[in-house]
């Protein structure tokens, strides 16, 4: 696509929107400006390509398409079939998966599809067998009662939230924690690393139906071969949530024991984050689970979003290009350079570094909570998010950590030298921020003090760092 074409496409779209609701057009333009001017270090965010973004704004949005390719509950879905089949094909080829389901609207939806697919595949009961061969509406109330008893109280073993797991891995306020009798495995208190012997011990004691691997804030590789062996030893289904690091798998940075696809029975992911696609989810699985996974709609999901599936097809096609592997490797190189820069300046990092795309800073060494550090950095043009650290004394709301990641800045073209400068900016802000107090004089976990002139100076330095690497350089909205 030419630079002219990209500018024309987005400018024209905003003109059409402005004619109906100018405030929405203004907000869209402002978001591009904000993203261009900020150091985006949120590990779960990235920048989708113009082609991916444009694939979402079209007439596919107008179609209902419940069902799967060739088996829809609505007529006129032949074009939806085309884009869904293309997205699934690209996913299978990219990840070496036997089956791909590209309908989930988000990572949480993908996990729910996986959970229910495993339950339906693994739990044996007369009621469930009826559900598999009869229409759901034909089940009697007695059938439903038996089915609920069989599906309830199944066991899940997943990584704890403070150790880096995700809330959908059995965290109590989430639906996964209500669906399953759940237990968590943590990390070694001394190293912050997964202790596979302890995971095996927990699995033998708890005997879960599902063993979950994957994370949202664990800065190291995971050995999925060992976790599969643990799952097999207790007869568990092994599920991996690779939402955060899917781009590193796609780019062949994680291979062998560290590639979850050959080892897991079922794998879920988002399609944004390090994969650099549209906001959405996806499920990859072994053939024996394919039929259950394909029942995701209407089992768990509402109607598929054909316009987003079209964008997934575009993004997955991009990820199959040779330059994506180079991009994925640069993500890790940048994360390690950022970690090294912070360590040299005295920061405390969970596990002492990183093997992947993210770095987890324990900001208690700066005398701050995660919430205070997050806001002070935002005041200074650096966008991060607060995150728990292992055995976090401040809990999941205030936290003691800041999670940062490199997928977005790597997309912009920043390299290892700029990562060291970024480490300097972060360290400067955190060392110059002081915790505040409540009105009664007690220490506050939210209030802080940061000199406004310093924040402005760091914001200008961040802008200077970004200037040689413009975001969407072909898009001019003026």
Structure tokens that stand for 97 in this block: 């998966």
The answer to the question of residue 3 being in a domain is no
Q: 11: buried, middle or exposed (CB in 10 Å: 19+, 13-18, 0-12)?
A: middle
For residue 450, being part of any structural domain is answered with: yes
Using CA atoms, how far apart are residues 310 and 57, in angstroms rounded to an integer?
10
Domain CATH for 417: 3.90.1150.10
Is the same domain home to 244 and 372? no
Q: DSSP assignment, residue 61?
A: G
> What tens-digit pLDDT sequence spans the chain (478 residues)?
455 889 999 999 999 999 999 999 999 999 999 999 999 999 999 999 999 999 999 999 999 999 999 999 899 999 999 999 999 999 999 999 999 999 999 999 999 999 989 988 766 555 555 555 455 556 667 766 666 666 656 888 999 878 777 777 766 677 776 777 888 999 999 999 999 999 999 999 999 999 999 998 999 999 999 999 999 999 999 999 999 999 999 999 999 999 999 999 999 999 999 999 999 999 999 999 999 999 898 888 888 999 999 999 999 999 999 999 999 999 999 999 999 999 999 999 999 999 999 999 999 999 999 999 999 999 999 999 999 999 899 998 999 999 999 999 999 999 999 999 999 999 999 999 999 999 898 999 999 999 999 999 999 999 999 999 999 999 988 8
CATH assignment of the domain containing 181 = 3.40.640.10
- Specify the pLDDT at position 3: 56
> Same domain for 163 and 203?
yes
Report cis status (omega within 30 of 0) of the bond before 348: no
Structure tokens at 217: 């804030």
Is 17 inside a domain boundary? no
Q: What is the DSSP letter of 443?
A: E
**Pair (295, 342) in one structural domain:** no
Q: How far apart (Å, rounded) are the C-alpha atoms in residues 283 and 281?
A: 7
In 3-state terms, what secondary structure has residue 233?
A: helix
Name the residue range of residue 221's domain.
59-319
Q: What does the pLDDT read at residue 2? A: 53
Q: Which residues of 131-143 are buried (b: 16+ CB within 10 A; e: fewer)?
A: beeeeeeebeeeb
Number of domains within the chain: 2
Give yes or no: residues 327 and 311 share one domain: no
Asked if residue 333 and residue 283 are part of one domain, the reply reads no
In a domain, 89, yes or no: yes
State the pLDDT at residue 422.
Answer: 98
Among the listed residues 406, 425, 247, 427, the one whose alpha carbon sits nearest the alpha carbon of residue 333: 406
> In this structure, are strands 210-214 and 154-159 parallel, antiparallel, or unpaired?
parallel
Q: Residues 429, 290: one domain?
A: no
Domain boundary among 291, 319, 347: 319
What pLDDT shows up at residue 168? 75
- Other CB atoms within a 10 A radius of the CB of residue 390 amount to 22
Q: Can you give the pLDDT at residue 154?
A: 82
Query: Which residues, at least 6 apart from 188, have a Cβ–Cβ distance to it below 8 Å?
Result: 194, 195, 198
Token code pair at residue 330: 């640069």
Q: Are 43 and 407 in contact (CB under 8 A)?
A: yes
Strand duo 210-214 + 237-241: pairing: parallel
- 294 φ, ψ (degrees, to nearest 5): -70, -10
Q: What is the pLDDT of residue 269?
A: 97
pLDDT at residue number 160: 86
Judgement on whether residues 262 and 355 belong to the same structural domain of the protein? no
Last residue of a domain, one of 287, 319, 351: 319
Is 103 within the bounds of a domain?
Answer: yes
66 φ/ψ angles, rounded to the nearest 5 degrees:
-55, 145
Q: Which residues contact 17 (CB under 8 A, 6 or more apart)?
A: 24, 25, 28
Reading the block at residue 319, the tokens are 């990820």
Active-site residue list = 64, 66, 241, 270, 273, 279
Predicted pLDDT at 127: 52
Task: Let me know whether 279 and 336 are in one domain.
Answer: no
pLDDT, position 441: 86
In terms of DSSP H, where are the helices of 296-349?
296-299, 306-319, 322-344
Rounded to the nearest 10 degrees, the angle between the axes of helix 416-432 and helix 452-466 is 170
Residue 291 lies in a domain: yes
What spatial distance separates the first Cα and last Cα of the chain, rounded to whole Å? 19
Going by their DSSP bridges, the two strands 401-405 and 358-362 should be labelled as antiparallel
Task: Give the Cα separation of 463 and 231 in Å (integer).
Answer: 48
pTM of the shown model: 0.91
124 in any annotated domain: yes
Under 8 Å between Cβ of 223 and 168:
no
The Cα–Cα gap between 374 and 382 comes to 9
At residue 152, the pLDDT reads: 59
Residues 289 and 388 in one domain: no
Cα 441 versus chain centre, distance:
39
| 11 occurs within a structural domain | no
Residue 23: count of CB within 10 angstroms of its CB:
9
Which residue has tokens 């003090």?
A: 449
Angle CA(41)–CA(46)–CA(52) in degrees, nearest 5? 165
Query: In the prediction, which pLDDT does 139 show?
Result: 62
Radius of gyration of the chain from its Cα atoms, rounded to whole angstroms: 23
Looking up tokens 């920061």, which residue turns up? 347
Predicted pLDDT of residue 145: 65
**Contact in structure between 389 and 400 (CB atoms under 8 Å):** yes
Do residues 165 and 193 both lie within one domain?
yes
What is the DSSP secondary structure assignment for residue 60, as one 8-state letter? G
Residue of 38, 34, 46, 36 lying closest to 405 (CA atoms): 46
Together in a domain, 219 and 332: no
Which among 280, 301, 319 is the end of a domain?
Answer: 319
Say yes or no: 84 and 158 in one domain.
yes
């Amino acid at each position: 696509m030419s630079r002219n074409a990209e500018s024309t496409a987005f400018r024209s779209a905003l003109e059409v929107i402005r004619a109906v609701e100018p405030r929405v057009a203004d907000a869209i333009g402002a978001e591009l400006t904000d993203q261009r001017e900020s150091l985006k270090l949120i590990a779960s965010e990235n920048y989708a390509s113009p082609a991916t973004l444009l694939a979402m704004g079209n007439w596919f949005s107008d179609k209902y398409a419940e069902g799967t390719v060739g088996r829809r509950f609505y007529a006129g879905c032949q074009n939806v079939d085309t884009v869904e089949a293309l997205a699934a094909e690209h996913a299978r080829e990219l990840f070496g998966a036997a089956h791909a389901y590209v309908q989930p609207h988000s990572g949480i939806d993908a996990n729910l599809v996986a959970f229910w697919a495993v339950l339906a595949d693994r739990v044996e009961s007369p009621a469930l067998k009826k559900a598999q061969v009869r229409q759901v509406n034909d089940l009697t109330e007695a059938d439903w009662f038996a089915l609920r008893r069989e599906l309830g109280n199944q066991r899940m073993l997943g990584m704890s939230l403070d150790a880096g797991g995700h809330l959908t891995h059995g965290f109590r306020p989430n639906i996964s924690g209500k669906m399953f009798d759940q237990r968590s495995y943590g990390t070694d208190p001394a190293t912050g690393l997964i202790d596979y012997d302890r995971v095996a011990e927990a699995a033998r004691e708890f005997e879960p139906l599902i063993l979950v691997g994957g994370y949202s804030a664990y800065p190291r590789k995971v050995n999925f071969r060992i976790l599969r062996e643990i799952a097999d030893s207790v007869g568990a289904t092994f599920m991996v949530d690779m939402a955060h690091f899917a781009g590193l798998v796609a780019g062949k940075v994680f291979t062998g024991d560290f590639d979850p696809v050959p080892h897991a029975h079922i794998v879920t992911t988002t399609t944004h984050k390090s994969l650099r696609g549209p906001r959405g989810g996806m499920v990859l699985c072994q053939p024996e689970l394919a039929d259950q996974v394909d029942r995701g709609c209407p089992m768990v999901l509402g109607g598929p979003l054909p316009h987003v599936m079209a964008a997934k097809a575009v993004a997955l096609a991009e990820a199959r290009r040779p330059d994506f592997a180079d991009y994925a490797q640069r993500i890790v190189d940048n994360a390690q350079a950022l970690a090294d820069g912070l360590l040299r300046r005295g920061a405390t990092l969970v596990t002492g570094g990183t093997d992947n795309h993210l770095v987890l800073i324990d900001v208690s060494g700066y005398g701050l909570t995660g919430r205070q550090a997050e806001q002070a950095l935002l005041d200074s043009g650096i966008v991060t998010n607060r995150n728990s650290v292992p055995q976090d004394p401040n809990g999941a709301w205030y936290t003691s950590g800041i999670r940062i990641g490199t997928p977005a800045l790597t997309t912009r073209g920043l390299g290892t030298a700029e990562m060291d400068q970024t480490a300097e900016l972060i360290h400067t802000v955190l060392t110059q921020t002081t915790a505040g107090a409540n009105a009664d004089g007690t220490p506050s976990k939210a209030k802080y003090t940061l000199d406004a002139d310093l924040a402005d100076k760091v914001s200008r330095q961040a802008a200077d760092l970004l200037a040689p690497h413009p975001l969407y350089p072909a898009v001019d909205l003026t």
